Structures are given as C-alpha cells and as structure tokens.
Structure 1
Amino acid sequence: MRTKIVAGNWKLNNNKEESKSLIKSLKKAIKNLPLENTRVIVAPTFVNLSSSVKAAKKSVIEVVAQNMHQAKNGAFTGEVSADMLKAIGVETVILGHSERRTYFNETDAALAEKVDAVLENGMETIFCFGELLEDRKSDNHFKVVESQLSNALFHLEAKDWGSIILAYEPVWAIGTGETASPEQAQEMHAFIRSIIEKKYTKEVADSVSILYGGSVKPANAEEIFSKPDVDGGLIGGAALKVEDFTGIINAI
C-alpha cells in the first residue's frame, strides 16, 4: 500500500512566531486523527526551518525544505546545502516547484544534479513537475510531463525511487483557483505511473506516491484523493490556514 501524503508548501509566508504558532495549532487539530499510513508535512522558509523542527517535535508533523542547492559548499551566495539541512533535522526537500522553474530558471539538468545530491546525502525529495496552460491547450501536456520526468529522474537506478515522492502540479492551476478535474488528475497520474513502469518495473511504478498540487481545498480534496493513482496533495494557500489544512488531511 502506497503512503498517503498531505504536504503544505508555505512558500514565502510566515515569520518565526507565525510558523511556530501554525505548527502548534496544527498539532492540536490533528492530534486525534487516524493517520495510519499518512504523512503530514509542512515546508516553512529556510530561516524558520530550525525553530519549526523544534515546534513539531512529539507530533507526526514532518518539517521539510522548499529548495536546496546541489553543491556541498562553495561560492554560492544565498544557497543552502544538504548537509546544512540535515544538521538541523531536515531530511526531505521539495525540488522543481514551478515557481523555482519559472522565476529562478531552474532547468531539468540542474534539477537532476539536485536530485543526485539529495540521494548522495541519504535524503528524500518531493519532486514537482507539470505543464503550462498553453501545453494543455495544445494537447502537449503528456509530452511535457514525460520530458520533465525523463530528463531529471530517469538516470536513477530503481532502488533510488524509494527516496522519491512525485508531485504533479499543472502550472495553470497553482494559486489561480482553477483546479484540474479529478478525472484530469487521475488521467495524468496514471500516465506518470505508466511511463515509470515502462522505464523501470511495475513494482517501482506502483510503489511511488504521486501527489496532486493545484488549488486543492477542503471542498474538492476528497473527490481528488479518491482517485486510485492520486496519493495525496502538495498544498499551497490552504496550508496556511489550520482549518483548511486539517480539512484536507481529513479528506485523505
């Protein structure tokens, strides 16, 4: 049985006290929820990771990073390495988010290097990918997704996939209020599993958790999560409100 995951990407939101307060409220809200085979994840900003890890102690909440540089050290002003993250108790990092690709020009080649650094350091990644609106309109979305996955991940060995969580995020549905229909999400997730099976094995494809990201809310989460190839969500805005995030967790 694949692990179910609800991950909240806080992006550029919440200062230190706000981050601690949100985690404290979330701990209380989910304390008595039946969360067998379900992971609850939050991704604060770099400066709030250490205090957030401490705030999440004695709870099921996992604190992860929003990004990471591929180098061990060196002249990379403003960047953070795997070793730095591990030193404060962070073992998982989000890579390839559409905002990183769009605003910071992250390429598939650079992301492949980052994935390698994650694996070399015994860490785990939530790897994001997805098509633009023009790709969807031109019926090119499957080709784009296959290209993003093959370029950044298909150099890996089968054993490496135990450290990979996938997050399909149609860019046109991120922060727009637009959401891929449950049928569209299922169609793409099934396609993703099929190309992994073709490259590796059915066992590898069936074991990988694939999350959906794109304007997930308590009102639509249950229907999206009910699809057989959707294993949870990467949540943006709704993760900043305890009631909304808890409602989404409940829907899993």
Structure 2
Amino acid sequence: MCLAVIAFGMHPDFPLVVVSNRDEFFERPTEALHVWEKEPKILAGKDLKAGGTWLGVNALGKLAFLTNVRNLKQTPHPNPKSRGSLVLDFLKSEGSISALEYAKQVQSSKDEYEGFNLFLYDGIRAIAIGGDPFGNQTVESGFHAVSNASWNTSWPKTEKLKSQIISKFSDWTNGKITKQNLEIEMFLSLNDAELVNDVNLLPDTGIGIERERYLSSVRIKTPKYGTRASTIVFYGKNSVEMIERSFSEPLSDGYTERRQMLEW
C-alpha cells in the first residue's frame, strides 16, 4: 500500500478510520479481501507472490498497514525479506504482544528489509515505525497521512487526500452526511487521478521528475503499475468493517467491491 490517511481518536464509535490506496504492479498475483481461517482470524487481502499483506486486522483487534519508502538514491538491498511479512507477523502474534513490543522486534530486524513505513495498532496504542531516516513514534489523536516517505511527510497527494478526508469527516461527525455518504465521498477522493503539474512541488526520490509526476496523483493510473485497491476501514469498539474496491485492469475505472466484518 502506498498512500493512507487515518483518523485516530476522532470519533466516539470508531477510534480508528483508515482510508488507503494500494499501489502495485498489475502482474503481481493478489487475492482480494477475505477472512483467513487462522487463529486468530485475519481479515486482509493477500500477496500471492510472497504470502504477506499490506493492510489487515485480526480477531484480537490488532490492525497494521504498510507503505514502501521510495528512495532510489540509496543502494538497493541485495537480498531483502518481503515487507508484507511485517504486517502479517503482527496479525499472527499473540494477544499479549503489544504494538510497542512488536515495534521493538521490528527495530532490531529493520536492516533485513527495503525501506518501509509500518503502522501498528493493538486497540490501545498506535505506533508508526520506519521511514527515511528510520524512526518510531507513538501516534497521537488526529488526522495523519503517509505515502512513500516518512510518517506525515508533506507530499502534494498526501496533503490533498488528508484535507478532503478531514472535510468529509467533519460533515459526518456534525451530522451533515451519513456514514454511507461518507464512504462514497471517501472513495471518490481515493479515485482522484489528477497529476501534479508544478514540478517544484514534487519530491525527489531518485526516479526523475517525469516519473515523479506520474506517481503524484492520489490514484495512480499507468499501463503496468498503479492503484490495485482502495480500502476503507471502520475500526469500532467490538468489531471492524473493511470495504475494498479492487481494480483488475491498469487504466480502467471498473472495480469489484467487497465488504466484510470481523468481531472480537
């Protein structure tokens, strides 16, 4: 997953809301959102190449998601582990292992992976670990955004999506729109494929300005690489609801929607 905005501690019934796009090569095999019959049960999509996931929650109330850090100025890792395992291992962990304890484990093994941002929530505390330079922090209440740089780095698309989500979230909490209308507005925001024209606003991650521009939109649409899925998570007090819209073709607006709940 390469873009996420969260509302943490901003609603009395939903302590965490996640709005996200997963960007990936369309040739990479993927299984859509489903319940993994494990103990504890996991609700997530699945990367069929490496076996991990980019966003998921388990029946103990643990949630995690991952974005890659893009910095081609650095020497690539010669034999990296799959970053999707960082999410999956947290969701598979025992209930007694907190987000903070797991973050310490990740810290000790960080050099085994290419760059990443990892968000961990155990139902009590939220931790953000990773970035460039690498660090970790307790996530405070509020709206936060992350893409392919460090946590809350200001990129045009992170600021654009976050501002849209803040506006719609305010309308929802003030009773101006329903939860159903909020979902519609959030998905419309996630589907925004407008590129940034002012190159002075773009980051420099070592891929060249033209490629930076093609990756500058909230939803990425290129012939082979782009947004594979848009997902909204409503994390409640006793259950979680996830809605996923997956795109099977690079430049198409057609999607398959899946909606599932998991209780704890």
TM-score by length of 2: 0.32
Q: Going by fraction, where is strand more abundant, 1 or 2?
A: 2
* TM-score, length-scaled by structure 1: 0.33
